[in-house]
Amino acid sequence: MIIIARLMFLLALFLLLVTNTGQMVFAQDDNNVRDACSVTRFQSLCVQTLGHFSRTAGTSPSKWARAGVSVSIGEVKNVEAYLAQVKRQGQLKGRNSVALSDCVETFGYAIDELHKSLGVLRSLSKSKFSTQMGDLNTWISAALTDEVTCLDGFEGSKGTNVKLLQNRVQNASYITSNALALINKLATEGLGSINDP
Ligand SMILES: *[C@@H]1O[C@H](CO)[C@@H](O)[C@H](O)[C@H]1NC(C)=O
């Protein structure tokens, strides 16, 4: 009886230890993503979309920048596919239909610019760093402008179809804006900073 009780006690102790360590690891991950996202404009969206990079990105500005651009590419592609589908279905008419065609085009440009950016982030080097940061800033700003230009086409339009579209485009632009902030943080902190060996 006593032996069983002791075993139970040890088991309980063990479980307590395991859960606590787990919680500590999660807490550290939380801190990492919150810290990375603190420079962004849409922080809760940042934490929501980048949280799963916490373990791998840690406190590295270059890894967070890369994560930000990857997530932006994913969402911009999703939205582009959705816009193309709405266009095929021919739901929107008149001015909205013209705006939609423009969106498919500008989203295509945005994807190109974000892809080029990811390419640069994959080949960062100390000797080319300032040129690379300049290119990244140019291309991601351009991608953001493309997304906002799409939104401008629907300004003042009503209807649930349009509302849904606006929300999705806006969401993509917020995520790209966050990516740009993460790039700017990398530009400020630099490669090879204490946090980014
Ligand atoms: C915004 O984008 C994120 C990331 O892809 C997605 O999880 C979320 O559902 C999107 N929200 C809207 C309103 O489109």
Tens of pLDDT, residue by residue, the chain (197 residues)? 666 676 666 666 655 555 555 555 566 778 999 999 999 999 999 999 999 999 999 999 999 999 999 999 999 999 999 999 999 999 899 999 999 999 999 999 999 999 999 999 999 999 999 999 999 999 999 999 999 999 999 999 988 889 999 999 999 999 999 999 999 999 999 987 655 65
Judge if the beta carbon of residue 75 lies within 6 A of ligand 1.
yes
Answer whether residue 195 is part of any domain: no
What is the per-residue pLDDT for 18? 57
- Using CA atoms, how far apart are residues 114 and 38, in angstroms rounded to an integer? 22
Orientation of helix 94-122 relative to helix 61-89, angle to 10°? 150
- Using CA atoms, how far apart are residues 145 and 11, in angstroms rounded to an integer? 58
Identity (one letter) of the amino acid at 95? Answer: R
- Using CA atoms, how far apart are residues 64 and 37, in angstroms rounded to an integer? 9
- Using CA atoms, how far apart are residues 155 and 160, in angstroms rounded to an integer? 14
CA torsion angle 134 138 139 142 (round to 10): 170
Judge if the beta carbon of residue 171 lies within 6 A of ligand 1.
yes
Which residue among 75, 79, 114, 151 is best mutated to probe the pocket of ligand 1, counting the most ligand atoms within 8 A of its Cβ?
Answer: 75
Indicate the number of domains in the chain.
Answer: 1
- Using CA atoms, how far apart are residues 84 and 88, in angstroms rounded to an integer? 6
Answer whether residue 26 is part of any domain: yes
- Using CA atoms, how far apart are residues 150 and 165, in angstroms rounded to an integer? 10
Judge if the beta carbon of residue 188 lies within 6 A of ligand 1.
no
Judge if the beta carbon of residue 52 lies within 6 A of ligand 1.
no
Q: Which residue has the tokens 């950016």?
A: 117
Copy the structure tokens of residue 66.
Answer: 């890369």
H runs (alpha helix) in 38-159:
43-50, 54-57, 61-89, 94-122, 129-152
What is the per-residue pLDDT for 91? 87
What is the per-residue pLDDT for 56? 94
What is the per-residue pLDDT for 159? 87
Answer whether residue 155 is part of any domain: yes
Give the CA distances from residue 123 to residues 60, 115, 119, in Å, rounded to whole numbers and listed in that order: 15, 13, 7
Judge if the beta carbon of residue 168 lies within 6 A of ligand 1.
yes
H runs (alpha helix) in 51-93:
54-57, 61-89
Answer whether residue 197 is part of any domain: no
Copy the structure tokens of residue 41.
Answer: 């404009």
Answer whether residue 194 is part of any domain: no
Answer whether residue 196 is part of any domain: no
Answer whether residue 82 is part of any domain: yes
Domain that residue 116 falls in = 3-189
The domain that holds 55 is classified in CATH as 1.20.140.40
What is the per-residue pLDDT for 192? 72
**Ligand 1 atom closest to Cα of residue 171:** 1
3-state secondary structure of 72: helix
Name the pTM for this structure.
0.86
Answer whether residue 97 is part of any domain: yes
